Amino acid sequence: MSDANTPIKDLPNLGRACEEWFARIGIHTKGDIEKIGIVRLYAMMKEIKPNASIVLLWALFGAMNDMRFDEVPDEIKEKLRAQLAAL
């Protein structure tokens, strides 16, 4: 289980590439992600990396909930899509 000080690269579904991308906007730990929120972080990443897939949003959800990105339930995916659309 991870805590707020866990580096990005040590979270499930995320690795060095995400760590480098997120560092560009000052996100370095799980706690940083918690402060900004996964949907907002995903939207910010889409601005920086327009080719970022929606799977990154599932990966972020999984990272925060200690689950694999491909285990995120469809109802959660729909809620995340709705939150993204509301931004």
| Per-residue model confidence as pLDDT tens digits over 47-70 | 999 999 999 999 999 999 999 999
CATH class of the domain at 8-86: mainly alpha
Q: Which segments in the chain show pLDDT lower than 50?
A: none
pTM of the model: 0.93
Secondary structure class of 73 (helix, strand, coil): coil
Domain boundaries, the chain: 8-86
Question: What's the burial of 77, exposed, middle or buried (CB within 10 Å: 0-12/13-18/19+)?
Answer: middle
Cα atoms in the Cβ-side hemisphere of radius 13 Å centred on 5: 0
Mean pLDDT estimate for the chain = 95
